Structure formats: structure tokens, C-alpha cells
Amino acid sequence: MANILLGATGSVAAVRVPALFEALVAAGHAVKVVATDAATYFFDPASLGEHLVRDADEWPGREAGHRYERGDTVLHIELRKWADAFVIAPLDANTLAKLAVGLCDNCLTCVWRAWDLARPVVLAPAMNTLMWQHPFTRRHLKAIAADAGAAHIPMHLNDQQLIAQMNDRSKTLRIVSPISKTLACGDVGVGGLAEVADIVTAVGEILDKVKG
């Protein structure tokens, strides 16, 4: 099938990263996971074994005094070369903001900044309802969509219409809408991570769309 780089960020929904990893593998994909340090608070890194990449892996031996030497691999570039698609699920509000403005202060966001824009991306946001409803969220999604070829989308659309337009107008971007549920914090509303099966389906659809 495809080489999938699964990005995991510091939303509580990162508890579902191992299940999403297994579902992508079951769908026939080769999968590596690049996780922010915050994300690994919500799942056991050992559960992903050698498939997991963390920030510290960018600088092997640093604590022992090792320094970069010419010819050493640059991990975020190697991950970008390996991956056919970049899936960030869950995508928290903090990382969404970083992606939108090009900040790259960890391995995951460095992969994003170095990403080949001709390759597909799937984003599955997950955050508190008021964070999702904050005006910055729409601005950031629109900025990302514009870079992916989905420009000039009107702001008056509701959330579902907005995301549908972004997905329809971009060949390489697929946003999987968050769902309404009782969130981990106890609030009830939109912001929960989409179902694992729906994310896996979105990955297959965007891969087919790019091939077509």
C-alpha cells in the first residue's frame, strides 16, 4: 500500500494513537509514528517499539557529548523522504497554529516544514470545544488549505461546509472533522478526535485522489 508517517501531538486524544497505528497497519500500510513529547504523556511509547520517533532521536548521543558531523542523517528529512503520506492525528491546537505559520521547533513540525507539497496530508484535529470554536482555528485551517491549493474559501461557511470546501478544492489535503462528544475534560461539544476507522478511510481516499 503506502508508507504512512503518523504524527501525534499533545491532545488527550493521543490515547488512541496505538489503535490508529494498528488500524493503518491492518489496512496494509507501513507506518512510522513521529510524536511530540507532549503526545507521549497519553500513551506508552513502548507500545510502538521501533516504529516510534521522538524529538530526542534527532540528536542521538547528545547527552554523551556527541555533535553532528557532516554525513550524519537528518532525521526529519529522512522521514519526509520515506513517507508517501503524512497523517497528523490527533492534531492539537498548539501544533495547528505552528503548522499554519511555519514554526518548526520539534521533529514533527520540522517534517511538516520540509514536506513535499505534492504528497498527501491528512489532518484530524482534536481539542476542547472552545479551542475548536476560537477564530484562530479557522484562520489556521484556511492558511494550511490555501498552501495546499484550496484558496479563496469564504469565512461565512459553517464548520462542515468550510472543511468540505477545503477537501474538495485541494488534491493533497484531507481534513477529518472532529466529532461532538463528552470530552476528557468533561465539556460536551465538538472537538473529539474522529473515529479511527474514519481516519483510516480518509487516508485511503486521499491516496487514491492523488494517484488519480
C-alpha 140: how far from its chain's center?
A: 14
How much is the pLDDT for 95?
Answer: 98
203 Cβ contact partners less than 8 Å away, ≥ 6 residues apart: 2, 4, 24, 27, 29, 85, 87, 122, 174
Distance CA 40, CA 46 (A): 10
C-alpha 83: how far from its chain's center?
A: 13
CATH (domain of 59): 3.40.50.1950
The x, y and z cell numbers of residue 115, run together, are 514536506
Per-residue pLDDT of the chain (212 residues; tens, 9 = 90+): 899 999 999 999 999 999 999 999 999 999 999 999 999 999 999 999 999 999 999 887 677 777 777 877 889 999 999 999 999 999 999 999 999 999 999 999 999 999 999 999 999 999 999 999 999 999 999 999 999 999 888 878 999 999 999 999 999 999 999 999 888 889 898 999 999 999 999 999 999 999 87
How much is the pLDDT for 212?
Answer: 75
143 Cβ contact partners less than 8 Å away, ≥ 6 residues apart: 100, 101
Distance CA 84, CA 90 (A): 19
Distance CA 106, CA 54 (A): 9
Q: ∠ CA(60), CA(61), CA(62), 5° rounding?
A: 95
Check whether the bond before 90 is cis (ω within 30° of 0).
yes
Active site residue 107: no
Q: Which residue has the cell 523522504?
A: 81
Q: Which H or E run contains 123? A: strand 121-125
Q: Count other C-beta atoms under 10 Å from residue 191's C-beta.
A: 26
Measured between alpha carbons, how far is residue 143 from residues 21, 107, 114, 131 in Å?
A: 28, 21, 17, 17
| Whether 53 contacts 34, CB under 8 Å | yes
How much is the pLDDT for 73?
Answer: 84
Q: Which residue has the cell 481516519?
A: 199
Domain that holds residue 68: 3-211
How much is the pLDDT for 5?
Answer: 98
Closest CA to 137 of 162, 109, 119: 162
The count of structural domains within the chain is 1
How much is the pLDDT for 28?
Answer: 98
